[in-house]
Chain A
Amino acid sequence: MEETPPEKTTQRLRPPIRNVGILSWIRANLFNGWFNTILSLVFAYVLFLTIPPFIEWAFINSNWVSTSEECKASSGACWSIVTANIRFILFGFYPHDLQWRPLLAVVILVLLLFYSQNRKHWAKSLAYAWAIGLFSMGLLLKGGLFGLVSVDSSNWGGLPLTLLLSVFGLTAAYPVGIILALGRQSNMPIIKSFCIIYIELIRGVPLISLLFMSSVVFPLFLPEGMSINPILRAQVAIIMFTAAYIAEVVRGGLQGVERGQYEAAESIGLNYFQSMRRIILPQALRIVIPPSVSILISAFKDTSLVVIIALYDLLKTTQTTLSDPKWMGYSSEAYIFVAMIYFVCCFFMSNYSRKLEKELDTDL
């Protein structure tokens, strides 16, 4: 015999209408209290005043592919300055029919970055992939091997130069920074003071003074007849600068490793290099991954300073386009385009660093 379950006497109550739905959300988040109500209204009014005219300027009345004469006739944005000069802005004076090479280099870099994003892929093979990738990027830009026509570095420019300076800068600065950080933590007074002087000296001056140094003072340091090309000089300045900042970040990581780890390494008889290599650094570097990404972001932004010593990075090519009488006066459009490139890159990197911080935080 089957017994029917007792009929449910409880009646499901719908939540009060005031607590769900869009209206209540608006009440709770925009109009809770007189102060927030005034704030919401003021900001909504400001947005109402600014957003529609901007959309009209940027999208509705704008010219996307046109000549500069058509632009002058219209009231909207002239994005044509970007579309008409895109190749110069992105690649600078790189020979026109060889521009697939810097493009491919940038694509390789982006793919590598995307692949490295996933922590499951972090292994020794990834380091080799980066080494090969960076080498092939350099090869693609420079040429001269495997039947690629050699392109003089004075013709390098635009986005590849920006990426080159920041990525190579960080890669080369990292080992230097680690050595400086270890030196600063060491108990050898002379080495320690050398490292402290270097780090504090570099961190105390603006990057632009180092770039000036690389462009006007550095040639005086070299023996007669020897010269180094300006890109390499700027690269060295960026590496010197970034290394000091990395040193401070790594020092934070070294201090974050428990004292017991140092003692344990010593007690099993490892010497200084072994204990650093096997025990301390792997843990310290793990802690400093998120701040390192922030350094990469600032290095990426800081490379724009090479404009001042007249290297044709992304910003300089844009300025050169703007000095063309045909396209004069559309700097807002051009700068907004470049700003978007920088923004997208930095935004992804900083989001990634935040995500990483959370992931690593829970593991430890």
Chain B
Amino acid sequence: MDTTAVKRIPFFRDPSKLAILYQILSIAGVALLAYYLISNTLANLERQSISTGFGFFAKESAFEIGESIIDYSSADSYGRALVVGFLNTLIVSLIGITLTVFLGSFIGIARLSSNWLVAKLSAAYIELFQDIPILLQLFFWYAFFYEMLPSPRQALNPIDGLFLCNRGLIFAIPAWHTAFLYAGIAFIVGLIIIFFLKRWVAKQQEATGRSFPTVKVSIAILLGLPLLAWLVSGAPTEMNTPALKGFNFKGGITISPEFTALLLGLVLYTAAFVAEVVRAGIQSVSKGQKEAAMSIGLKPGLVLNLVVLPQALRVIIPPLTSQLLNLTKNSSLAVAIGYPDFVSVAGTTINQTGQAIEGVALIMIVYLIFSLSTSAYMNWYNKKIAIVER
């Protein structure tokens, strides 16, 4: 018999066997917890005679929603009410994201300005808006619109056709005319032309080495084509101006105080974080890169486009996305100031139907879809821009 044979390791010292044991235990633990919670919940639901499932979608909602971009009345179903809420969340997020990116980049660049006053003011802005809870800022702006601004009769009228009062921001829009439809089509056509133009320019440059003023030509196409379409179809200039009728304004477009306060709060808060992200991104590109680009004879615009921005964006994009996702998630605070976003509508639905589990699950699913699609995009983007190492 071989006496030097290794003694068998007892299973409680063998990591691979222990791993199996731990995993079985953790599955059992989670399953037990789930069983306990589900059985309790079912018992509670039965006792309180709360119905389950998503049957309430088709039922009449019987509540009004303050603002909606699709037709909605209290006679419509819960399903439609939730769609209205979802669209409202989407609108405020999309507009908010666009404004935030612009304002945030602007402040981030201003933070690095050689002008002392501008740099210090941006630093103060960033510090101030980052350190005050977003909810408090929303309350502040909402109260500002309700208390500081006058009633519609004494509405502020800084520019002709624009009114600011405690019913919101009211301004004139061009009256509807088919010319605008044609202009819109012309804009889309312009985008398509630019897409092909870019490919052509890239090919030309590969072949001949000559550059082409793509940006200027693109801007000219984007502005010129719709303008041409508008001129050709009769150049209508009629405006739909708001006018005071009784206690409120008629005509024009009204942006409610809730929406304005929410948008303002979200944009000002998130822009402070975006500014820091942009600043860090710009600072991450070493000076040598810029100097090297200049020394091989690139023009300043090309230095920015071909050397600095691609490197800075690699640093900026991931945290920027997470900040913009935060903006989307923070838009759920609309419920606190009465803007009918998805959470707010779902909250009302929960109160009326008593189906809390379905309601909260819906909220979570909607936001998870936002987050997961964003992170899927992020992973794709990170792969695309990752430095290819030798």
| Known contacts A332-B140, A350-B130; A206 and B332 CB within 8 A of each other | yes
Top 7 nearest A-B pairs by Cβ distance? Answer: A204-B371, A346-B131, A331-B143, A29-B116, A206-B329, A216-B356, A301-B133
Is residue A315 contacting chain B, with contact meaning CB distance below 8 A? yes
Q: Is the CB of A40 within 8 A of B41?
A: no
Q: List, in ascending order, chain B residues with CB within 8 A of A305's CB.
A: 135, 333
The answer, among A207, A220, A297, for a CB contact under 8 Å with B44, is A220
Q: Is the CB of B40 within 8 A of A335?
A: no
Q: List, in ascending order, chain A residues with CB within 8 A of B115's CB.
A: 29-30, 32, 36, 39-40
Q: Is the CB of A335 within 8 A of B143?
A: yes
Q: List, in ascending order, chain A residues with CB within 8 A of B23's CB.
A: 188-191
Could you tell me the distance between the alpha carbons of A332 and B139 in the complex, rounded to whole angstroms?
Answer: 9
Q: List, in ascending order, chain B residues with CB within 8 A of A268's CB.
A: none
A207 to chain B, nearest CB (A): 8
Could you tell me the distance between the alpha carbons of A224 and B39 in the complex, rounded to whole angstroms?
Answer: 11
Instruction: Return the CB mask of A185-227 against B: 1 if under 8 Å, else 0.
Output: 0011111001000001101111111001100110111111000
Q: Is the CB of B140 within 8 A of A191?
A: no
Could you tell me the distance between the alpha carbons of A217 and B134 in the complex, rounded to whole angstroms?
Answer: 25
Could you tell me the distance between the alpha carbons of A188 and B332 in the complex, rounded to whole angstroms?
Answer: 36
Q: Is the CB of B360 within 8 A of A40?
A: no
Question: Which of the four size classes fits the interface of chain B?
Answer: 35 or more
Q: Is the CB of B148 within 8 A of A209?
A: no
Q: Is the CB of A43 within 8 A of B121?
A: yes
**Interchain Cβ contacts under 8 Å between A and B, 11 examples:** A29-B117, A39-B118, A200-B371, A201-B368, A204-B368, A212-B347, A319-B139, A331-B143, A339-B132, A342-B136, A350-B131
Interface centre among B132, B148, B332, B335 (most CB of A within 10 A): B132
Is residue A138 contacting chain B, with contact meaning CB distance below 8 A? no
Q: Is the CB of A43 within 8 A of B117?
A: yes
Q: Is the CB of A191 within 8 A of B26?
A: yes
Instruction: Return the CB mask of A60-76 against B: 1 if under 8 Å, else 0.
Output: 00000000000000000
Q: List, in ascending order, chain A residues with CB within 8 A of B117's CB.
A: 29-30, 39-40, 43-44
Could you tell me the distance between the alpha carbons of A347 and B130 in the complex, rounded to whole angstroms?
Answer: 9
A230 to chain B, nearest CB (A): 15
Could you tell me the distance between the alpha carbons of A341 and B383 in the complex, rounded to whole angstroms?
Answer: 43
Q: List, in ascending order, chain A residues with CB within 8 A of B133's CB.
A: 301-302, 304, 315, 342
Instruction: Return the CB mask of A25-56 against B: 1 if under 8 Å, else 0.
Output: 00001101000100110011000000000000
Q: List, in ascending order, chain A residues with CB within 8 A of B364's CB.
A: 201, 204-205, 209
B326 to chain A, nearest CB (A): 9
A171 to chain B, nearest CB (A): 20
| Known contacts A30-B116, A224-B44, A272-B15; A212 and B367 CB within 8 A of each other | no
Question: Apart from A39-B117, A190-B23, what are 4 other A-B pairs with CB-CB below 8 Å?
Answer: A32-B115, A200-B375, A301-B133, A335-B140
Q: Is the CB of B26 within 8 A of A315?
A: no
Q: Is the CB of A203 within 8 A of B135?
A: no
Q: List, in ascending order, chain B residues with CB within 8 A of A108's CB.
A: none
Interface centre among B134, B139, B370 (most CB of A within 10 A): B139
B89 to chain A, nearest CB (A): 11
| Known contacts A332-B143, A343-B131; A217 and B22 CB within 8 A of each other | no
Interface centre among B121, B133, B134, B356 (most CB of A within 10 A): B133
B residues apposed to A, CB below 8 Å: 15, 19, 22-23, 26-27, 30, 37, 40-41, 43-45, 47, 113-118, 121, 127-128, 130-137, 139-140, 143-144, 147-148, 329-330, 332-333, 335-336, 343, 347, 350, 356-357, 359-360, 363-364, 367-368, 370-372, 375
Q: Is the CB of A347 within 8 A of B360?
A: no
Q: List, in ascending order, chain B residues with CB within 8 A of A297's CB.
A: 131
A40 to chain B, nearest CB (A): 5
Q: Is the CB of B136 within 8 A of A338?
A: yes
Residue of A nearest to B143 (CB): A331
Residue of B nearest to A214 (CB): B360
Residue of B nearest to A304 (CB): B133
Is residue A256 contacting chain B, with contact meaning CB distance below 8 A? no
Q: Is the CB of A343 within 8 A of B132?
A: yes
Q: List, in ascending order, chain B residues with CB within 8 A of A203's CB.
A: 371
A282 to chain B, nearest CB (A): 22
Could you tell me the distance between the alpha carbons of A111 and B333 in the complex, rounded to whole angstroms?
Answer: 33
Q: Is the CB of B335 within 8 A of A308?
A: yes
Could you tell me the distance between the alpha carbons of A148 and B301 in the complex, rounded to whole angstroms?
Answer: 72
Residue of B nearest to A32 (CB): B114
A266 to chain B, nearest CB (A): 10
The answer, among A43, A216, A220, for a CB contact under 8 Å with B45, is A220
| Known contacts A39-B118, A188-B22; A332 and B144 CB within 8 A of each other | yes
Is residue A86 contacting chain B, with contact meaning CB distance below 8 A? no
Residue of B nearest to A335 (CB): B140
Could you tell me the distance between the alpha carbons of A194 and B23 in the complex, rounded to whole angstroms?
Answer: 10
Could you tell me the distance between the alpha carbons of A212 and B347 in the complex, rounded to whole angstroms?
Answer: 9
Is residue A307 contacting chain B, with contact meaning CB distance below 8 A? yes
Q: Is the CB of A220 within 8 A of B332?
A: no
The answer, among A220, A304, A322, A335, for a CB contact under 8 Å with B356, is A220
Could you tell me the distance between the alpha carbons of A190 and B25 in the complex, rounded to whole angstroms?
Answer: 10
Could you tell me the distance between the alpha carbons of A36 and B135 in the complex, rounded to whole angstroms?
Answer: 36
Interface centre among B41, B43, B350, B360 (most CB of A within 10 A): B360
Q: Is the CB of A209 within 8 A of B367?
A: yes
Interface centre among B47, B130, B144, B335 (most CB of A within 10 A): B130
Could you tell me the distance between the alpha carbons of A320 and B315 in the complex, rounded to whole angstroms?
Answer: 44
Interface centre among A39, A220, A272, A319 (most CB of B within 10 A): A220
Instruction: Return the CB mask of A284-309 against B: 1 if under 8 Å, else 0.
Output: 00000000000001000110110110
Could you tell me the distance between the alpha carbons of A336 and B143 in the complex, rounded to whole angstroms?
Answer: 12
| Known contacts A43-B117, A190-B23, A335-B140; A343 and B336 CB within 8 A of each other | no
Q: Is the CB of A208 within 8 A of B332?
A: yes
Could you tell me the distance between the alpha carbons of A158 and B136 in the complex, rounded to whole angstroms?
Answer: 14
Could you tell me the distance between the alpha carbons of A213 and B356 in the complex, rounded to whole angstroms?
Answer: 8
Could you tell me the distance between the alpha carbons of A330 and B137 in the complex, rounded to whole angstroms?
Answer: 15
Q: Is the CB of A213 within 8 A of B367?
A: no
Could you tell me the distance between the alpha carbons of A187 and B16 in the complex, rounded to whole angstroms?
Answer: 10
Could you tell me the distance between the alpha carbons of A307 and B182 in the complex, rounded to whole angstroms?
Answer: 49
Q: Is the CB of A212 within 8 A of B363?
A: yes
Q: Is the CB of B363 within 8 A of A205?
A: yes
Could you tell me the distance between the alpha carbons of A302 and B130 in the complex, rounded to whole angstroms?
Answer: 12
Could you tell me the distance between the alpha carbons of A216 and B364 in the complex, rounded to whole angstroms?
Answer: 14
Q: List, in ascending order, chain B residues with CB within 8 A of A144's CB.
A: none
Could you tell me the distance between the alpha carbons of A216 and B41 in the complex, rounded to whole angstroms?
Answer: 12
Q: Is the CB of B357 within 8 A of A220?
A: yes
Could you tell me the distance between the alpha carbons of A30 and B131 in the complex, rounded to whole angstroms?
Answer: 28
Could you tell me the distance between the alpha carbons of A346 and B144 in the complex, rounded to whole angstroms?
Answer: 24
B390 to chain A, nearest CB (A): 21
The answer, among A32, A43, A207, A220, for a CB contact under 8 Å with B41, is A220
Q: Is the CB of B22 within 8 A of A191?
A: yes
| Known contacts A213-B360, A224-B44; A301 and B134 CB within 8 A of each other | yes
Q: List, in ascending order, chain A residues with CB within 8 A of B30's CB.
A: 194
